[in-house]
Amino acid sequence: MVTEGLRCERHGATTRLTCAECGVPICPRCMVRTDVGLRCERCARSPVRGAPARRRLPLALGACLAGLVLVAAGLAVAGVLGSGTTPRDAARPLLGGWSKARPLQALRGSTSAVTLRGGRVLVVGGGVGSVPLAASEVFDPRSGTWTGWGRLDQPRRGHRAVALKDGSVLVAGGIARGRLLSSAEVHGPSSRSGWRTARRMTEPRLGHTMTVLSTGDVLVTGGTGTSGVPSRGSQTVRPTATAELFHPGTGRWTKVGSMRIPRFEHTASLLPDGRVLIAGGIGMRRGTVVPVASAEVFDPVTRAFGQTGNMATARADHAAVTLEDGRVLVVGGDNGSAALATAEIFDPARGRWSRATPLARPRRGLAATLLEDGTVLVTGGESLVEGTRTSLSAAERYDPEGDDWASAGSMSCPRSEHGAALLSDGSVIVAGGDAAFPGRRPIPQGCVDRYRP
């Protein structure tokens, strides 16, 4: 409950947050972000109340059970949420349309999607609840089918994946059964290449970013470090400011100068001049973790981070897209207690931010994709109110020239932390992700939707 004047029982700090489990006031210093909302440290170490003791199940059986739960939940919620539209949505023009595509071969929450050379899309890793996945699969837009692309050596969720200049794919970091990962793997351009273990990053990372630079190297920034203490499907956040580069030619990692502040669940966007804009995320302030409004720029020539203008709003778990004119759109996210609808645009020529027209609805854990006509498609995400999460199926489309949003209809599945990628024909494939509803653990999904502009 958001109330003025509450005081954290442990630290005595004034707070507007309460534990989603027991209702005790908590401050950002002692809160733990879990699958079912913000919880105090005591409740985070215990199973969700009313939940039966869980036994470990074989992955295939667990996936089947999760699928049955998803169907039941979908039927139960469909009548309540409908298409996820609001009166404001209904008043706006509708652009493009959605169609259901063939489902994934495996249920995947918190997954990554990467566009491959030739226009196919790779979906790799993810999780069925807290169980990490090793399988990867590729979508062929011509046949509309998914085919297996081999198994990772290390199952992982919460990782990052990027396509390298030579057509290979790099996957790094994430978490597996409460353990942060520094491991990395590379898959060659062809399906026959298979995954091979690469050198480890200089430190484990979760909630980091990976950006392919114009040189072909990959910049990795921030995330949460190893000082975070795992507790039954959650991860205490301890943001790090460290950064490193992956060199595909040698397969080596090298440290670069640290960011100006630690960041977790931030964004990194490649600018036309080769620099990288780092924006927002969860940072540290006086020993507590809070969303930040600060931004900085990485220069690949000097290998150093420099400060730039701050956003108007502190945000984390947002989305960012580099527009055709070189500016960067940042949208959504959360401020620590609620999801955001606000949007801002960064102008690299002036190093300044300006406000953009807000979304029709607040959303965090969303995906944003630049379309061929220069507009931006925003899909899914979830509302966050007093620590309670509700996934969204509604989509919106932003026109930078008119600075306005239009409705882009609704997907067949509400989802957040999903994968989205542009196909060779200009359509967008949206796959997997979690379906989060009040009082329930997020449900991993196999449903796939395709948007045609």
Last residue of a domain, one of 49, 66, 81: 49
Question: From CA 247, how far away is CA 400, in angstroms rounded?
Answer: 35
Closest to 340 in 3D by CA, of 307, 376, 312, 374: 312
Please check whether residue 140 is in contact with residue 120, taking contact to mean a CB–CB distance below 8 angstroms: yes
Same-domain check for residues 38 and 124:
no
Cα separation of 331 and 341, whole Å? Answer: 7
The Cα 17–Cα 3 span in angstroms is 8
Question: Looking at residue 418, what is its pLDDT?
Answer: 96
Does residue 262 share a domain with residue 181?
Answer: yes
Asked if 324 and 278 sit in the same domain, the reply is yes
Co-location of 76 and 28 in the same domain: no
Query: Is 192 in the same domain as 209?
Result: yes
Q: Are residues 17 and 132 in the same domain?
A: no
Considering its fold, how many domains does the chain have in total?
Answer: 2
pLDDT the model gives residue 51? 34
Instruction: Report the pLDDT value the prediction gives residue 156, as an integer from 0 to 100.
Output: 96
Regarding whether 92 and 147 lie in a shared domain, the answer is yes
Same domain, 135 and 220: yes
pLDDT of residue 75: 33
Are the beta carbons of 430 and 100 closer than 8 angstroms?
A: no
DSSP state of 55: P
- DSSP classification of residue 235: B
Q: What pLDDT, on a 0 to 100 scale, did the predictor assign at position 281?
A: 97
Residues 43 and 117 in one domain: no
pLDDT for 74: 43
Residue 303: give its domain's CATH number: 2.120.10.80
Are residues 262 and 301 part of one domain? yes
Contacts of 58 (CB under 8 A, 6+ apart): none
Return d(Cα 393, Cα 363) in angstroms, integer.
11
Same domain, 78 and 20: no
Residues of the chain with pLDDT below 70 are 1-18, 20-21, 23, 27-39, 41-42, 44-92, 226-235
Convert the pLDDT of each residue in 73-92 to its tens digit.
Answer: 443 443 334 345 554 555 56
Are residues 195 and 241 both part of a single domain?
yes
Which pLDDT value is given to residue 433? Answer: 95
Q: What's the domain range around 20?
A: 1-49
